Amino acid sequence: MSIRILGIESSCDETAAAVVADGREILSSVVASQIDIHRKYGGVVPELASREHVRQIVPVVREALEQARLVVSEVDAIGVTAGPGLVGSLLVGITYGKSLAESLNKPLVPVNHLEGHIHAVFLEARQARIEPSLPAVCLIVSGGHTVLYEVCAKDRENVDSLWSYRKIGQTRDDAAGEAYDKVAKLLGLGYPGGPILDRLAAAAGNAGAPVKFAATKMKGNRYDFSFSGLKTAVLYHVRENPDYRQEIQAREAAVARGDRKFDQLLPLCSQKTLGLVKEFQNAVVRDLVDRTIQAAESLGVPTILVSGGVAANRQLRAAFEDRARELALKVYFPSMELSTDNAAMIAAAAYPRLKNGVLADVTLNASASLPLA
């Protein structure tokens, strides 16, 4: 009989619920995004996020159970994101998870959101009956995080044993997704920035770079990242070149009236802007790929996992695949759906914890900066 875990995720601006059997088979995965609510503010507004989670949590969990053809009493455990994230948002999922677990007398499993992102890669691979080998170097790259971990199975013979994590590097300022969002905003391209910049960079063809961004040099830990200098370089370049102003205003107006699709924004971008976007993306991708590959090589670890919202970036995936092929490393990504925040990854991460008795009780609280250990 399989073990079915109901996963609940509410750490940021997605209310999500999913049912996963044995940490491997996705029976359902429902995500209610709040992007439309936060878009006009150009980023996530914590108070609005909590309120929306309160509105969404019950219907989202109900939908996940319906899609899995289960009634709630048939799930074996509840896995819930305990942190890191926005405290008000986390509390909605935690409170609901706790009350479900209490009323049904089922185990409650606390999950670290970052561990969820790592499990997303395994979950995806396991759908295709592939088991990535551990130890691995894992890059988690999203709007809130840019961090490199070494991941090991505590019991090498047993993939369902708990895993241990060692942080190798992290961003010292902005997360990569945050840099995408800020650059898109200053170019008048709306929010979130990653998907539209990804497509515009791909459409740049051989548009020349109007400015060159050098690789970021890091003092101290060479596996740390920094993206705020790059974002500021884009800002100064745009400010110093008044010829960008008119097209930025035209795009801002288009986005404000709801014309924010790629086909609507592309004609409002000059070749110079496309070249700039391409150069920005080249710099981000080069930095993420170089440091991750260097970490894997120096640790002698042949497996690389890449997860989080920015892992949906097509140029990043292609660059990792090319370099990994050259160096005979294996690189794994989740599908696009499992790259961004979802609850299937939380249910999958809860499975080994449940099996190893890592449970929480009604005292479980939200932790904005829960470390991954």
Determine, following the binding rule CB under 6 A, whether residue 89 of this chain makes contact with ligand KG4: no
Determine, following the binding rule CB under 5 A, whether residue 146 of this chain makes contact with Zn ion: no
- Residue nearer to Zn ion on the CB measure, 142 or 146: 142
Q: Which of 237, 346, 240, 230 is nearest to 288 (CA)?
A: 230
Q: Least distance to ligand KG4 from the beta carbon of 343, Å?
A: 12
Residues 78-117 that bind Zn ion (CB under 5 A): none
DSSP state of 369: T
Determine, following the binding rule CB under 6 A, whether residue 142 of this chain makes contact with ligand KG4: yes
Q: Which stretch binds ligand KG4 (CB under 6 A): 53-61, 124-132, 193-201, 288-296?
A: 193-201
**Could you give the string, one character per residue 147-186, with x where binding to ligand KG4 holds by CB under 6 A and - elsewhere?**
------------------------------x--xx-----
Determine, following the binding rule CB under 6 A, whether residue 341 of this chain makes contact with ligand KG4: yes
Q: Which of 25, 16, 20 is nearest to 6 (CA)?
A: 20
Determine, following the binding rule CB under 6 A, whether residue 224 of this chain makes contact with ligand KG4: no
Determine, following the binding rule CB under 6 A, whether residue 195 of this chain makes contact with ligand KG4: yes
- Residue nearer to Zn ion on the CB measure, 28 or 146: 146
Bridge partner list, 18: 7, 29
Cα separation, 222 vs 285, in Å, equals 16
Cα separation, 220 vs 64, in Å, equals 46
Residue 84 binding result from Zn ion, ligand KG4, none, given CB thresholds of 5 to 8 Å by partner type: none
Per-residue H/E/C for 238-273? HHHCHHHHHHHHHHHHHHHCCCCCHHHHHHHCCHHH
- Residue nearer to ligand KG4 on the CB measure, 6 or 310: 310
Residue 340 binding result from ligand KG4, Zn ion, none, given CB thresholds of 5 to 8 Å by partner type: ligand KG4
168 touches 147 (CB < 8 A): no
Cα separation, 68 vs 55, in Å, equals 22
Residue from 181, 213, 341, 344 binding Zn ion (CB under 5 A): 341
Total length of the chain: 373
Determine, following the binding rule CB under 6 A, whether residue 192 of this chain makes contact with ligand KG4: yes
SS3 of 177, please?
helix
Cα separation, 265 vs 179, in Å, equals 20
Determine, following the binding rule CB under 5 A, whether residue 339 of this chain makes contact with Zn ion: no
Angle, CA 11 vertex, CA 292 and CA 83 arms, to 5°: 70
Q: Which residues bind Zn ion (CB under 5 A)?
A: 142, 341
Residues of this chain that bind ligand KG4 (CB under 6 A): 12, 142-144, 177, 180-181, 192-195, 198, 308-310, 312-313, 340-341
